[in-house]
Each structure stands twice: as structure tokens, then as C-alpha cells.
Amino acid sequence: MKLIKKYLRSCIKEVRFRRILRRWKLLSFRKLLYFPHILNKKERRFFYSLTLLVIISGLAIFLRIYFKVSYPVAQVGKTYTEGVLKNPRTINPVYATQDADRDLARLIFSSILIYNSSGQVELDLAESLDISPDAKAYTLTLRKNVFWHDSEPLTVDDVLFTIKTIQNPLYKSPLRANWQGVDIEKLDQSTIRFTLRTPYAPFIENLTLGIIPKHLWEKISPEQALLHELNLKPVGSGPYKFERFKQAKDGSIIWYRMQRNSQYYRDGPYLNKIIFVFFKTEEELIAAWRKRDIEGFGPAPANILREVGERSSIRTIKMPRIFGVFFNEKKSPLLGRGPVKKAVVLAIDPTVVARESISGEAIPTSSPLPFVNINSDAGLEFNPDAARKLLKEDGWKDEDGDGILDKKARQKGKDVLTPLRFTLTTSDWPDLVRGADLIKSMLREVGIDVVVEKKIFTELETSVIRPRNFELLLFGQVYGYETDPFTFWHSSQIKDPGLNVTLYSNKRVDGLLEEARRTSNPDLREKKYLEFIGLLQKDIPAVFLYSQLYLYLLPDSLKGAEIEKISLPSDRFNQINKWHKKTKRVFK
């Protein structure tokens, strides 16, 4: 009996389930859409909210999973437009000296080696590099299947021709001095050797020179080379190739367009075209950016930062340039007095000078070398009270109440007041003028009078720097990636064309600088330079103020332009082949 009841109960359940199933099948999509209408207002609001929440949650989960299992990959496409000051004249690595020429040459030509965005050297045209134990011989093997923009193959002969052209005095290349004393030998069709007469560690930076095509330039005489049309319509092997340019009636170039090199031997390039638009003044350039005629430019003044907004961003890039006030004891014997010289250093605040004088941005420093952080133990940090005390102990007093310290000196049987006064010479560049005025006011606070003398750059170079005709000089020292202070501080560089403008001479420093440039061991070189810095702090031939940064404004739509260090402004394009605007997500 129990079994019969159990069977009947299961049959009833099955009948009910089938009835429910039939009813579900009778529900149409149309009836489902009608479902909210049978609900009251409160129930309907809840239903819609719940449905929306389910959809949003589902979409969020899907996107989260999608982004977790995929990543963006650069794609070819789109154009980047940059504003550049001045006009190009010689887009040729053999001749390029101004920024506009160097910028274009960096995009169009390839080099044997190249520095990456963090300032580390990498192979470019070279497939391998071998440096001999004595650091005199550099043997390079070139990549295979590298082509010029006209589809001719690039060979060792092109490298040999480029260097021989620079070494030839008839071509009048400004780079000739860099290649004197360097012998070049072709070992085979893909291998070349550079041999130095004496070891020189920074020589490796010479190998970042752009290579020019022999098959085109060998037909052009040295007399015709500088004015040849190949300087404006170059053929290179770099990531971008010349397409066309537009000239104004006066012959100046309005814009210059390049297209991607589809035969490029490295990854990329991804931007389809790059256009440079040229301007005569910074004001015109910034106005064009505000009107969106250009997307980026550099260096950007600091006051543009508040205008950047959402469409652009600023890259802050380190450069190996040290600015300071350099002393000339021969021109002003007062600077030969230890207390006076030390008081000048103590009275100047590098942090304030860097913050308030620079139109861009700068890093205060007490180091004579870029990218070297030191903890000064020479007691030369900003301290105006200590400066006043030193001068007082040295016998300086304000004898006539004019706020300037004086000293009595016997001249022709009479006591004559000698004021503590110096002339500070600098460029008429606005940043340096502001810096000079700040330094003047700081020194005045401790009783030192300063007369600021501003000169245009050409006059500063010819009548001040070369003849060493100054007492105090506010100026900068420009280094390369491979730091070599030899030309600035070795005693052999005291006379022009050397750049030891302070006439500084120290035998131990000379030895350290010579040893540092001979060794290829970076740790040993750093040790030599740290000892050199210590000696310079002790002798005080200058007060070092700041290292200026390069502010580069780029559109937010541009990706891959991560730049940490550059030596020259054109080095910002060293990894232009990675820049892109277009991406596509692919699964991992």
C-alpha cells in the first residue's frame, strides 16, 4: 500500500512539473517585455535598478577579465606634429650644429651606437662591439639587411666614408676635432675597427654619429657639399625618411614632413608621419600650440605648465649641463684670498637661484659633474652669517656706511678705501640675467658689491670667455653622456680653445682626469672623479648652482615616449621608433 501511495505522489509531482514547463514555454519575449507593466511603481523601480545592476556588473566582470588576459600593442598609424624654433639648413650629421638640423638628422639617419631613454648605450647599426683590453681598439660588426631610404644596402664602406669625410679638412666639418688621432680599418664586408693612439673612454660617444650614404655623397666635391640639396632632401637609413617640405617666399622652410621607413631594421616605427613646423620666436610657437596647430614642442617654459590641461603632459628630462659662477683670480686678486672666495660661496643660495631664475626647471647642485650626488663636507652650504663672519675676520668693514664692505689700503702715502666689489659677466639670455640679479642681491646682503655685465652670446664668447676677460662668470658647462671634465679643469686647457676658464691648475687633479679618461672601468672612473670633486671643493675655483632640466610638452595621445636623460635636445628622438598613437589589444 505504501508503495502505491509513493508512486501516485511521484506521478502528481511529474504532472505539476510538466504543467509548469508548458506554461514557461508559452511565455514569449513579448510577454516578458510586458512584465514590468504588471508591477506597481515601487516594484517597477526596483526591477529596473536590479536589471541595470546586473548588466553593469556583468560588463565590469567581462572588462576586468578582458584587460587581465590581454595587453595593448603598438600599431602603425596616425601623425605627430611638433613645433621647432629656427630653420634647418644642413640636415646632415657631418655638418649639423643647430638644434633644428640635429632633430631632423636624428630621425632620418642611423648611427653605429645609440643611447636609450635612460642614458645607457645600445647597439644600433652595429650587431656587436668589442673593446680591446687596453681600450684603444673598437671592433664593430654591422647588421645585415640594412638599407638606405633609396633601397641601396648600407655597408661598412658607408661608415668608412662618413668618418673619412669628417677627417678631411676640405669638408670643414665641425666634428673633425673629435676624430683626430683615430685610425679606421675595414676588416671585411661587415666589420670595421677604430684604433686610438691613446686610450679615451668617452670615445664610445663618438660612435653615435649618424652615417651618410657613400653612393650619393662620393659624387659631390668638398666645395659643393655644404650647399648641396641633399642637406635638405637627405637620404638616410633611420626610422623616418624625407617626404617633402614647404618654403616661404624668403626661402625659409615653413614645415617639413617625414614618413615612416617601412624597411627599418629595428622594431617600429609606428607613427605614420612626423611633421615639423618651424617658428622664428617662442611666442609664435606657443601661440600655434594654443591654437592646436602643433601637438608638442621643447624646451617648454615653466609658465606653460598651468595651461597643459588634459590634452598634453610634460616630460621632465635630465641633461648633463652644470651652471655656476666661475672665478678668475688672475683678473681679480681679491678672489685669490681664501676667506673672500669662501664667503662668496656661502652667500649664494643655489636652491633659490634654481627656483627663481629658470624659465624651465632645474635641480640645485653643489657638484661640478652632472648626475653625481655628493654630500658636501667642505662646509660650503648656504650660510650668509658664516660669510659675514669670515669677511669680518679677514678685516673687511663698512667704513663709509654705504652697506659695502671696505678695506684700507696705502696708496701713494694715503689711506684709500678699497670696496669689496666684483663684476659678474653673463649672457643676455633671460634665465642667466635673472640669476645674475639674484646673485647680486645675495652678495649685497653680506656686504659684497656686484656689477652685472650682460653680453650677447657671440660677444661673450669672443671678448670674455676666449681671452678669460672676467672676474666672475655666470655660465654653463655642457657635458656628454660619457662625463669627461678634462677640457674644463685640466691645466692643459687653460688657454683657448680649451675651456678651463678659471685658469685652474692642480697637478693631482690633472693626474686624476688623465687616469679617468684612460680607464674603461666605470667604477674606477667614478672613484677618480669623486676624488677630483673633493679637491675642487677644497680649492673653490667656482660655486656650482644647478643642472637645468629639459621640459618636453607632448600630447597625451602619444605613447611610448618615455625619456629620462638626454645629452643634446635631439636625443629625445633616440627611441622615436617606439612612439605610437594607435594600439590594439591582443590576448596573452
pTM: predicted TM-score of the whole model, two decimal places: 0.85
Residue 43 lies in a domain: no
Answer for the pair 242, 230: CB distance below 8 angstroms, yes or no. no
Q: Closest Cα partner for 558 from 544, 570, 573?
A: 573
Three-state SS annotation for 403-452: CCCEEEEEECCEEEEEECEEEEEEECCHHHHHHHHHHHHHHHHCCCEEEE
Answer for the pair 491, 506: CB distance below 8 angstroms, yes or no. yes
Burial class (CB in 10 A: 0-12, 13-18, 19+), 237: buried
509 and 563, same domain (yes or no)? no
Helix (H, G, I), strand (E, B) or coil at 70: strand
Pairing outcome for strands 126-131 and 137-142: antiparallel
Q: Closest Cα partner for 512 from 493, 496, 494, 535?
A: 535
Answer for the pair 360, 549: CB distance below 8 angstroms, yes or no. yes
Tally of domains within the chain: 2
Residue 60 lies in a domain: no
Give me 432's grid cell: 642667466
Phi-psi region of 123 (alpha: psi -120 to 50; beta: other; left: phi over 0): beta
Q: Closest Cα partner for 570 from 146, 109, 174?
A: 109
Q: Which residue has the cell 677644497?
A: 538
pLDDT of residue 2: 52
pLDDT of residue 460: 96
- Report how far residue 338's alpha carbon sits from residue 333's, in angstroms, rounded to the nearest whole number: 11
352 and 247, same domain (yes or no)? no
CB atoms within 10 A of CB 77: 15
506 and 572, same domain (yes or no)? no
Domain that holds residue 492: 318-549
Q: Which residues contact 372 (CB under 8 A, 6 or more apart)?
A: 483, 529, 530, 533
Instruction: For residue 49, give the DSSP letter.
Output: H
Instruction: For residue 211, give the DSSP letter.
Output: P
Residue 216 lies in a domain: yes
Give me 353's grid cell: 637661484
Burial class (CB in 10 A: 0-12, 13-18, 19+), 226: middle
Q: Which residues contact 73 (CB under 8 A, 6 or more apart)?
A: 583, 584, 585, 586
CB atoms within 10 A of CB 402: 12
The interaxial angle of helices 522-539 and 507-518, nearest 10 deg, is: 160
472 and 501, same domain (yes or no)? yes
Answer for the pair 281, 534: CB distance below 8 angstroms, yes or no. no
Residue 17 lies in a domain: no
Phi-psi region of 214 (alpha: psi -120 to 50; beta: other; left: phi over 0): alpha
Helix (H, G, I), strand (E, B) or coil at 180: coil
507 and 445, same domain (yes or no)? yes
Q: Closest Cα partner for 425 from 395, 456, 392?
A: 456
Give me 411's grid cell: 696708496
Answer for the pair 406, 418: CB distance below 8 angstroms, yes or no. yes
193 and 258, same domain (yes or no)? yes
154 and 275, same domain (yes or no)? yes
pLDDT of residue 26: 47
pLDDT-flagged residues of the chain (< 50): 3-5, 7-8, 11-13, 15, 17, 20-21, 23-24, 26
Give me 88's grid cell: 634647418
CATH number of the domain bearing residue 267: 3.40.190.10
- Report how far residue 241's alpha carbon sits from residue 260's, in angstroms, rounded to the nearest whole number: 6
Answer for the pair 181, 246: CB distance below 8 angstroms, yes or no. no
Residue 19 lies in a domain: no
365 and 512, same domain (yes or no)? yes
Side chain identity at 280, as an amino acid letter?
K
**Helices (runs of H) and strands (runs of E) counted in the chain:** 16, 21
**What does R_g of the chain's alpha carbons equal in angstroms?**
34
- Report how far residue 391's alpha carbon sits from residue 388's, in angstroms, rounded to the nearest whole number: 5
Helix (H, G, I), strand (E, B) or coil at 185: strand
264 and 346, same domain (yes or no)? no
- Report how far residue 519's alpha carbon sits from residue 446's, in angstroms, rounded to the nearest whole number: 44
Q: What CA dihedral angle connects 404, 407, 410 and 412, to 10 degrees?
A: -10
107 and 235, same domain (yes or no)? yes
Residue 500 lies in a domain: yes
pLDDT of residue 313: 87
Q: Which residues contact 80 (CB under 8 A, 6 or more apart)?
A: 271, 273, 274, 275, 295, 296, 555, 558, 579, 581
Give me 519's grid cell: 680607464
Q: Which residues contact 480 (CB under 8 A, 6 or more apart)?
A: 202, 205, 320, 567
Residue 309 lies in a domain: no
CATH number of the domain bearing residue 483: 3.10.105.10
323 and 455, same domain (yes or no)? yes
- Report how far residue 348's alpha carbon sits from residue 356's, in angstroms, rounded to the nearest whole number: 13
Residue 56 lies in a domain: no
C-alpha separations of 355 from 136, 431, 473, 568 in Å:
44, 11, 20, 23
CB atoms within 10 A of CB 150: 12
Residue 390 phi, psi (nearest 5): -60, -45
242 and 367, same domain (yes or no)? no
- Report how far residue 215's alpha carbon sits from residue 366's, in angstroms, rounded to the nearest whole number: 50
Paired strand residues for 72:
585
